[in-house]
Amino acid sequence: MANETTERFLSAEPEVKLVNSFARPFDNAIATARTCYSAKGIITAEQVAALDATEETTRAKRLKQRDELGASLFQAGHHTVFQHAHFQFALSNVSRHFVWNFLHSHPFYNSEQVSQRYVAVKPSVCAVPPLAAEALAVYRETMRRQFDAYDRLCELLFPVASREYFARFRGRKGAAALYEKEIHKRCMEVARYVLPVGTFTFLYHTVNGVTLLRYHRLINQPDTPLEQRVVVGKMVAELLHVAPEYKVVLNEPIPPDETMEHQFLAALKDSGPRATPARARQFREEFDRELGGRVSKLVDFKRDNERLLADAVREVFGLTRAELGDDEAIDWTMNPAQNRYLGDEMNLATHVKMMRAMAHPHYTFRRKLSHSADCQDQRHRMTPASRPALRAYLTDEPDFITPTLLTLDGAEAANQLYRETMEATWDGVGRLRSLGAPDEHAAYLLPNAVSIRYTESADLAALWHKCRMRLCYNAQEEIWRASVDEAEQVRTVNPRIARYLLPPCGLRDLAGQRPVCPEGPRFCGVPVWRLKLKDYCRTI
């Protein structure tokens, strides 16, 4: 195949296994296409596979027709027929950087990935790109220091994390030993910020046929092309093993120098192959200045969101403004006391006629999160974002996020170690680049803490769902702070909408559902449903 590569990582080989798929995925695609114009009802995959043919020549002829039809449909852009079949892969020894950059950079997938928040990371379980001599020594030494700092931070943070934990759960202090595991998880959640983005993960990853074909076509995109060629190459090999007929629709990958990103950077005047420190600094300063100290800043929204929502609700039921005012329409749609669907554990917004009106109001935010936090945030696939290529982040100056726990009294030693590790990490990245290591390889050493700056948009339905999940005190701290920022700012421009941007307990309380907190034994310890948004405050 064109995506095969002779380069290999020096670390453990990525493992890729197709664990579930349709029995006859390609035949199913053709069956669905033929059913569209069938006068005899449903065409089955078995019919397409010509299993009913008694003569070999007849079967061969029908299979040839199948392949020709499949290629013709694909070439014409009729791709929905290839979306029915799904493929579930078990992936191991792949980097979190690759997952963030490639597997999770689009909405058409489902993944279940091991957590770094609550699962201890073993030393040196990390991607090691094909480096040699001094460059390899610098890479390994920097990585070793990051993992050593992770272990040490877990120890240094335990006293301050314990203090903050029992300040929240006062009744548990008398049996402190029972909660050491829970407190240790809070330490790991912060300590992981020093780990490299090249740290390995394992996950189940499920995509439809079209998405897998897109992976193959875009295999050479930045920032992780080598890992993409290795992992996607194995995914495609697994596909062709169970369904070799997909070869007729397997387009060749776009060559590296023909990707849009490569051509754009090549066209920039005075850009050179790498971002200069001065240009990178100017970009960061401009972006951060416009944020104004926020994690997420509202930069645009539709001019008349509340009227737009109310009009859409009226249209669903054929009512005039005299019959249903704006306040009533919004209340019926977004107030859980009226709309009990909002308190349901399932997100039903896209399936309910009235709630589909929430697709029309729209908001755009400029955001700054760590790589670690953004890995979780991007799982909200209905809030698309223009996430960056990390080329601009390979700078001479450390550029990172510091979790709140590290800034508290008693965390001074941990904070010092944290900052020293960041300095050493960026120094290691700089030394690698000076030795001629490709930026692609150097980027694997960037820490989880590296700042990621981008713009994200959401319709009201998607924003409401994100707030429902991320205003919970159990949510990852940075995403929680971004969601608080967003709810506050929407409240200033659309107060009738924003008063219902609430955590799950707040929605369930308004809906009259009990227990108010749906987390059971994972209750955060704070009756958040009784708080005003301006009073939200947390340290762990």
Q: Each residue of 137-184: pLDDT tens digit?
A: 999 999 999 999 999 999 999 999 999 999 999 999 999 999 999 999
Least confident of 43-52, 217-226, 361-370: 43-52
pLDDT band, residue 50 (cuts 50/70/90): confident
pLDDT score recorded for residue 62 = 87
- 54 within domain boundaries: yes
pLDDT score recorded for residue 261 = 87
Token pair 């409240």 in the structure block, residue? 491
pLDDT score recorded for residue 275 = 61
pLDDT score recorded for residue 269 = 63
- 336 within domain boundaries: no
Stronger pLDDT, 263 or 372, i.e. the higher one: 372
**Would you say 31 and 81 are in contact if contact means Cβ atoms under 8 Å apart?**
no
Least confident of 237-246, 342-351, 407-416, 472-481: 342-351
- 362 within domain boundaries: no
Per-chain mean pLDDT for the chain: 93
pLDDT band, residue 523 (cuts 50/70/90): very high
Paired strand residues for 207:
87
470-480: average pLDDT: 96
pLDDT score recorded for residue 178 = 94
Helix, strand, coil abundance in the chain, percent, nearest 5: 55, 10, 35
Tokens of 217: 């076509």
Query: Is 86 strand, coil or helix?
Result: strand
**Rounded-to-integer distance, Cα 454 and Cα 473, Å:** 24
**Closest CA relative to residue 468, chosen from 497, 499, 502:** 502
The pLDDT of residue 124 is above 80: no
Tokens of 276: 């200069």
- 73 within domain boundaries: yes
pLDDT score recorded for residue 469 = 95
pLDDT score recorded for residue 7 = 81
- 359 within domain boundaries: no
Q: What is the pTM (predicted TM-score) of this model?
A: 0.94
Counting residues of the chain whose pLDDT is more than 90, the rounded percentage is 84
**Rounded-to-integer distance, Cα 114 and Cα 513, Å:** 32
Q: Are strands 110-113 and 296-301 parallel, antiparallel or unpaired?
A: unpaired
Residue 512 to residues 334, 343, 469, Cα–Cα distance (Å): 15, 8, 19
Least confident of 33-47, 157-171, 181-195, 441-455: 33-47
Domain around 59? 23-84
Q: Total domain count for the chain?
A: 1
**Rounded-to-integer distance, Cα 457 and Cα 383, Å:** 6
For 241-267, the pLDDT digits (tens) are: 999 999 999 999 999 999 998 888 888
- 379 within domain boundaries: no
- Strand boundaries in 284-421, DSSP class E: 296-301, 362-370
Residues contacting residue 267 through CB under 8 Å, at least 6 positions apart: none
48-55: average pLDDT: 77
For 305-333, the pLDDT digits (tens) are: 999 999 999 999 999 999 999 999 999 99
9-36: average pLDDT: 95
- 42 within domain boundaries: yes
- 467 within domain boundaries: no
Q: What DSSP line would sit under 98-154, residue for residue? A: HIIIIITSSSS-EEEE--SSSSPPPTT-B---S--HHHHHHHHHHHHHHHHHHHHHH
